[in-house]
Amino acid sequence: MGTPGGLLNIAPLRDATDPDWLALRQALWPDDDASEPVGARLAEHLAEMASQLAEPQRFAQFIARDAGGEALGLVEAALRHDYVPGTDSTPVGFLEGLYVVPAARRQGVARALVQAAADWARAQGCTELASDTPLDNLLSQAVHERLGFAEAERVVFFSKAL
């Protein structure tokens, strides 16, 4: 695994049944809700994948593969027209998800995936690319900083049932 000699292929995803896309999504967003029926999260992933592919003007997905075709990482991007913290324009390209398999980290995979998402967003008329991550995900925060993102704000939301 890895990118021997720097050989890395970044390609758009076009098949909602791509098993590598599904596996990378499951690694990024695991099924950790014990209250959901078994297989419910799998069905959600598959539905979201199909939904994204049905709106190529709004969503883009790219997969990174090594020279042997092994999946190394994934980025999912979207156009957001609502307010995105730290941005001044609309629409804004937004990284909805970024994941690199542990064995391929620190080899430029995330950088190449984010560049593909940025190129797509630019082609859609965007002048900014944004992202978010949970407050407790320090690894993701460090990766974002290394990729050139600047922190825009920190926030904790509250709600109350009425």
Query: Tens digits of per-residue pLDDT, 1-58?
Result: 555 456 899 999 999 999 999 999 999 998 766 667 767 888 999 999 999 999 999 9
Provide the residue ranges of all domains of the chain, joining segments of one domain with +.
7-146
The fold for domain 7-146 equals Aminopeptidase (3.40.630)
Three-state secondary structure readout of the chain: CCCHHHCEEEEECCCCCCHHHHHHHHHHCCCCCCCCCCCHHHHHHHHHHHHHHHCCCCEEEEEEEECCCCEEEEEEEEEECCCCCCCCCCCEEEEEEEEECHHHCCCCHHHHHHHHHHHHHHHCCCCCEEECCCCCCHHHHHHHHHCCCCCCCCCCCCCCCC
Query: Tens digits of per-residue pLDDT, 51-73?
Result: 999 999 999 999 999 999 999 99
pTM value is: 0.89
